[in-house]
Chain A
Amino acid sequence: MIEVVDLHRWFGSVHAVRGAGFAIPAGQTVGLLGPNGAGKTTTLRMLTGILRPQRGTIRIAGTDALAHPVRARRHFGYLPESAPSYPEMPVRSFLRSRAGILGVPAGQRKNRVLKVMDECQLSSVAGRRIGQLSKGYRQRVALAASLLHDPQVLILDEPTNGLDPTQIREARSLIGDLAQNRTVLVSSHILPEIERTCQRVIIIGAGKVLADGTPQDLIQSAAQGGCIAECKGHVAAIGTALKQALPGCTLTTEPLEEGWWRCTVRWESDMNTPEAVGAALLAARCPVRLLRPEAVGLEEVFVRVLDAATGGEA
């Protein structure tokens, strides 16, 4: 449904997007993750036609978005980062006006406006000026505006930005409902948000795609080879034992109470790291009270992927 190949964008001498590429099949909800300045918004702006890439290909619902931009824009609804709207307009008038611009036929406009107001729970504020509404409602108005032409694809840039926890929960549930029968690409730097909402995650950093997969796959691949052990003994002896038994492993130690240490061991090997760590510590006569594989979340995956890409400078 969305196909991006070797996308490049320069702003003067700054190479903001460097060969980003991904393909999103119909019906998938995908999170675009990245730190601030990673190129997420620039990528989305190129997808939506606000910016033209200097190199690369974009296809949306089979339409070449660079050769036929107007036709391509009929296939998606876009919620920009700041959820812009016209504060002086009543909600209903704004949505009717947007429906006209989005090419909804005059005869269907009233019904479409009623339908999206119902979908986004805006009926109670239909006659109120947008400027008088809370941030959460304004976000919903902007989201409703992106649904008026019943697009196959929804592109949402930081849809929960600036919302309070209750509003975030409501927005998440609304996006979940909308994703039932659409392809959704949602950008965010709020990791739990993406973890809960998306079936697939694309991590973008320095304008490049650094990782791509389901949250579970990414977490699993990051957790592989990681192990946490709590043991007692001299820290130098523990270090020597582990380095000898698991050559090339990375070890971090953290002192606990009464001579106990928490050791985090990462070892890139096919062998079972907790088993090897346990055996090495027992051989060094260090009592072990806890031994488990390292549990990582998407946040850890995100940090590691960025670390790997920047050589630990991120």
Chain B
Amino acid sequence: MIAILTIARREFGSLFRTPVGWIVIALFLFLTGAVFVFGALSPGQLATLRPVFGTTTLMLVLVAPAVSMRLISEELRTGTYELLASSPITSLQIVLGKYLGALAFLIVMLLPTLIHAGALALVSEPNPDPGPIAAGYLSLFLFGCLCLALGTLASTLTDSQTLAFLGTMLTLVCWMLITNIAPQHVPPAIGAKLAAASYSIRIDDFARGTIDTRHVVFFLSISAGLLVAATSALESRRWR
């Protein structure tokens, strides 16, 4: 556990030691702030953060791969992977450490957006319903978990950060298109199965204030599966 936390701490710190981390946070906060001001603060509208959550989900499709692309790829490129691989730790500890570091960064990135909820409560009468806001944040966190797990897997497969970024982002975009648009153009039985694999439909449910444990299990189990795959991919490097 100590090794996992040490790797996580180093990873978290390294995102702030380079301009990339600060730029990602600044852009993210600027865009979510703009969406909040122009989308949620319009007079006469319901006091809800739903437009912000919708846009933030789409932004995560871009931002999460940018955070995760360097996790293992950078170690492979610079040779520091040899330090980790020859240390008395398992590949699973390496993957979990890297993943938790990136997840901590994502949480730090999301935390300042809580100010939107506070601002909305200040200017709205009646006050916004806290249920959908809490559920919305939970959905962002769960979707972030999934995106970062996918990004971690991609970064174990290549030493190119660009490829890891593109691989993660394109997979998320294709996933969304296949599970949201394709169901309307295929037989209903197949369409229903495709729609059940959609992450965006589940995120919409959260934004309405519904916390469905099936949705929670969906995000957590897929994230766990991707991390297991990332561990296997990293371990297989010892055999290549």
Contacts and interface: CB of A to CB of B under 8 A. Distances in A.
B82 A50 contact: yes
A84 B82 contact: yes
Contacts of B7: 101
A295 to B, nearest CB: 40
A55 to B, nearest CB: 13
Contacts of A50: 82, 85-86, 238
Contacts of B9: 97
Contacts of A106: 2
Interface of B: 2-3, 5-7, 9-10, 13-14, 17-18, 78-80, 82-90, 238-240
Interface string A69-100: 01101100010101011101100010001101
Given A50-B238, A80-B83, A101-B3, A89 B17 contact: yes
Contacts of B17: 88-89
A89 B14 contact: yes
Size bin of chain A's contact surface: 20 to 34
Contacts of B89: 70, 101
23 contacts: A49-B85, A49-B86, A51-B238, A70-B90, A73-B87, A74-B88, A78-B82, A80-B79, A82-B79, A84-B79, A84-B80, A85-B83, A89-B13, A97-B6, A97-B10, A98-B83, A100-B2, A100-B3, A101-B3, A101-B7, A101-B84, A101-B87, A149-B88
A197 B82 CA distance: 25
A102 interface: yes
Interface string A29-48: 00000000000000001001
Given A11-B240, A97-B6, 5 more contacts: A48-B86, A51-B239, A73-B88, A78-B82, A84-B79
A85 B88 CA distance: 17
Given A78-B86, A80-B83, A98-B83, A86 B3 contact: no
B18 A102 contact: no
Nearest to B236: A52
A102 B88 contact: yes
Interface in A96-134: 97-98, 100-103, 106
Interface centre among B7, B17, B82 (most CB of A within 10 A): B82
Given A84-B79, A85-B80, A88-B18, A100 B86 contact: no
A145 interface: yes
A157 B107 CA distance: 40
Contacts of B82: 45, 48, 50, 78, 80, 84
A218 B9 CA distance: 50
A145 B84 CA distance: 12
Contacts of A93: 13
A48 B81 CA distance: 12
Contacts of B78: 84
B88 A103 contact: yes
Nearest to A49: B86
A-B pairs, 6 with minimum CB distance: A100-B6, A84-B79, A48-B86, A73-B88, A80-B82, A88-B17
Interface centre among B79, B84, B85, B90 (most CB of A within 10 A): B85
B239 A52 contact: yes
B238 A49 contact: yes
A145 B9 CA distance: 18
A88 B17 CA distance: 7
Nearest to A72: B88
Contact of A73 (B2, B18, B86): B86
Nearest to A96: B6
Nearest to A98: B83
Contacts of B86: 48-50, 73, 78, 80
Nearest to A71: B88
A84 B6 contact: no
B87 to A, nearest CB: 5
